[in-house]
Structure 1
Amino acid sequence: MEAIRLEFKSEIKEKIIALLSSFSADELKIVEEDSDFDLNKKKMDASLAKIKNGTAKFYTIEEVDAILEETISKYEN
């Protein structure tokens, strides 16, 4: 299946839903968009920009393991 994102004026929502409802469930599935989609997209775009311009900080598996171990040890007791 493919997915598209639609933006429309609220007054035509009923018409759109009526049209889309004419398709069977195996032809079309209506998925409500995540309310945080735009915020998450901005965060991901910012992260991608840092990767592309070379300012992103990368960690090895060993570095991540050490960071996690240190964090866990702070809260163990």
Structure 2
Amino acid sequence: MQTIRLRISESVYSHLMWFLKRFSRSEVEIIRENDEFISVQEYLENELETIENGTAEFINLEQLDEKLETTIRKYED
């Protein structure tokens, strides 16, 4: 599936949305870009950049298990 991003005028918006809604969700998925979407996108882009430039910090399975156990204990009660 391909993703496109469009900037359209208010006068065209309702017509375009009407047209896109004629397709099934498996054919066309409308992704609304709100503040949360943009925030998550920026976070993921930054994370990818740290991996690509070699500055990312990774943990091993033992450290992950320890963190998970600590988190579980914290919320068990």
Shorter-chain TM-score category? Answer: 0.5 to 0.7
Report the equivalent of 1:65.
65
Report the equivalent of 2:11.
11
Give the drift of 1:38: 1.4
Unaligned residue ranges in structure 2 (runs of 5+):
none
Q: Distance in 2 between matches of 1:20 and 1:76?
A: 45
**Deviations 1:32-70 (CA, angstroms, capped at 9, x unpaired):** 425222111111111011111111111112210011212
Report the equivalent of 1:31.
30
What number of residue pairs does the alignment pair up? Answer: 76
Letter in 2 for 1:29: V
**TM-score, length-normalised on structure 1?**
0.67
Report the equivalent of 2:56.
56
Q: Distance in 2 between matches of 1:71 and 1:4?
A: 39
Identical-residue share of aligned pairs (%) = 29
Provide the aligned C-alpha RMSD in A.
2.9
**TM-score, length-normalised on structure 2?**
0.67
